[in-house]
C-alpha cells in the first residue's frame, strides 16, 4: 500500500482522475501536484486533517473550483477548462450530497427532490411524481413528500438530500461529511444507505469525512490527504495496518 496505488498510472477506464492537480487560495497551497484515480463503482473515502483540501477535491470534480495546474477527468473528460454551460452536461451525471443537505425550505420534500428533474428533464408531472416516490423509497422515506423540510429531523433531511442527489440517476455520487451533526443511530443509517445505494445503483461514490467509523464502514478504499498530495491509499484493512505513524495518529484521533 502506498500513495502511488490508484494514482495516475491507472488512468485507463477510471471514473474520476486527478492528474498533477494543484490548487491554492492566495498564498495557501492546498493541493500540490495531486494524483488519484477512482475506479468505476467503488466507494472511496477521502480523509485528512482540517484544511487539507478534502472538500476542495469534490468541488474540483463538479467544476465549482478550477485548478491552477493539472487535469480533473470525469469519465475521461477534463472538466477543468469547461465553461459553466458545458459543465451542466457533466453535472447531470453527478449527484452531490452537501454537508447541510442544502434543501430549499420554501419547497416541500417532494418539490425538493423533483427540482433537478424539472430543471433538467422533460418528464411530465406524473413521471416526476413517480421518480420522486421511487428515490424517496430507496432512502426509506416514501410518504413524506408533502412535509416541509423544517419538520424533519437532521437524519431525515440528509436522506431527502440524498434522494435529490440520486433523482437524475447519476453514475457518480459525492458526499460531503454525510454523518456530520447526526446522532450515532442516524449516522449509521446514512452509512448503510451509502453502501446500499452503491450496490443497487452501481454508482461510484466519493465520500469526504472526518468520521473514521464511517470511513471504515462504507469504503472500498480510503485515501489520506497530506501536504497537498495523497499520502496513503488502500483498503480500510490496509490503512488500519499501516506502518506510517501519521496514518495511525489520524485514525486514533491524535491529528485533527
Of 169, 186, 221, which residue sits at a domain end?
A: 169
* Domain with 71 in it: 1-85+172-256
Do 24 and 126 fall into the same domain? no
Q: How far is Cα 159 from Cα 194, in angstroms, rounded to an integer?
A: 10
Q: How far is Cα 202 from Cα 223, in angstroms, rounded to an integer?
A: 21
Kindly state the percentage of the chain with pLDDT values over 90: 73
Do 10 and 76 fall into the same domain? yes
Q: Is 70 exceeded by the pLDDT of residue 167?
A: yes
| 7 pLDDT tier (thresholds 50, 70, 90) | very low
The residues that bridge with 72 in the sheet, in sequence order, are 18
* Residue 71 φ then ψ, to 5°: -125, 145
Question: The domain that contains 200 carries what CATH number?
Answer: 3.40.50.300
The model scores a pTM over 0.85: yes
Do 165 and 177 fall into the same domain? no
Per-residue confidence (pLDDT) for residue 5, from 0 to 100: 45
Do 37 and 12 fall into the same domain? yes
Do 9 and 40 fall into the same domain? yes
Of 154, 169, 184, which residue sits at a domain end?
A: 169
Do 98 and 218 fall into the same domain? no
Do 77 and 141 fall into the same domain? no
Look at the chain and report how many structural domains it folds into. 2
Question: What is the mean predicted confidence (pLDDT) over 60-74?
Answer: 96
Do 164 and 64 fall into the same domain? no
Q: How far is Cα 255 from Cα 249, in angstroms, rounded to an integer?
A: 6
Do 209 and 222 fall into the same domain? yes
Task: Report the mean per-residue pLDDT for the chain.
Answer: 90
Do 74 and 195 fall into the same domain? yes
Do 212 and 226 fall into the same domain? yes
* Residue 184 φ then ψ, to 5°: -55, -40
C-beta of residue 172 within 8 angstroms of C-beta of residue 14: no
Instruction: Encode pLDDT of 78-91 as tens digits.
Output: 999 999 999 998 99
| 12 pLDDT tier (thresholds 50, 70, 90) | low
Do 63 and 188 fall into the same domain? yes
**β-strands 229-234, 204-208 pairing:** unpaired
Of 169, 198, 216, which residue sits at a domain end?
A: 169
SS3 string, 216-252, reads: HHHCCEEEEEECCEEEEEECHHHHHCCCCHHHHHHHC
Q: Is 176 exposed, middle or buried (0-12, 13-18, 19+ CB in 10 A)?
A: buried
Amino acid at each position: 500500500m502506498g500513495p502511488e496505488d490508484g494514482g495516475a498510472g491507472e488512468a485507463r477506464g477510471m471514473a474520476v482522475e486527478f492528474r498533477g492537480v494543484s490548487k491554492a487560495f492566495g498564498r495557501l497551497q492546498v493541493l500540490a501536484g495531486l494524483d488519484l484515480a477512482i475506479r468505476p463503482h467503488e466507494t472511496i473515502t477521502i480523509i485528512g486533517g482540517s484544511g487539507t483540501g478534502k472538500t476542495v477535491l469534490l468541488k474540483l470534480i463538479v467544476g465549482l473550483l478550477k485548478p491552477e495546474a493539472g487535469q480533473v477527468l470525469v469519465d475521461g473528460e477534463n472538466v477543468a477548462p469547461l465553461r459553466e454551460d458545458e459543465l451542466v452536461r457533466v453535472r447531470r451525471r453527478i449527484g452531490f450530497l452537501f454537508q447541510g443537505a442544502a434543501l430549499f425550505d420554501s419547497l416541500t420534500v417532494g418539490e425538493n427532490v423533483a427540482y433537478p428533474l424539472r430543471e433538467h428533464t422533460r418528464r411530465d408531472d406524473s413521471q416526476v411524481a413517480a421518480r420522486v416516490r421511487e428515490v424517496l423509497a430507496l432512502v426509506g422515506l416514501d410518504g413524506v413528500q408533502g412535509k416541509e423540510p423544517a419538520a424533519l429531523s437532521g437524519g431525515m433531511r440528509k436522506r431527502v438530500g440524498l434522494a435529490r442527489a440520486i433523482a437524475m440517476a447519476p453514475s457518480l455520487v459525492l458526499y460531503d461529511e454525510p454523518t456530520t451533526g447526526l446522532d450515532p443511530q442516524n449516522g449509521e443509517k446514512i452509512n448503510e444507505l451509502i453502501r446500499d445505494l452503491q450496490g443497487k445503483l452501481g454508482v461510484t461514490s466519493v465520500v469526504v469525512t472526518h468520521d473514521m467509523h464511517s470511513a471504515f464502514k462504507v469504503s472500498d478504499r480510503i485515501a489520506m490527504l497530506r501536504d497537498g498530495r495523497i499520502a496513503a491509499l488502500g483498503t480500510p484493512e490496509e490503512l488500519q495496518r499501516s506502518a506510517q505513524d501519521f496514518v495511525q495518529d489520524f485514525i486514533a484521533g491524535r491529528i485533527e
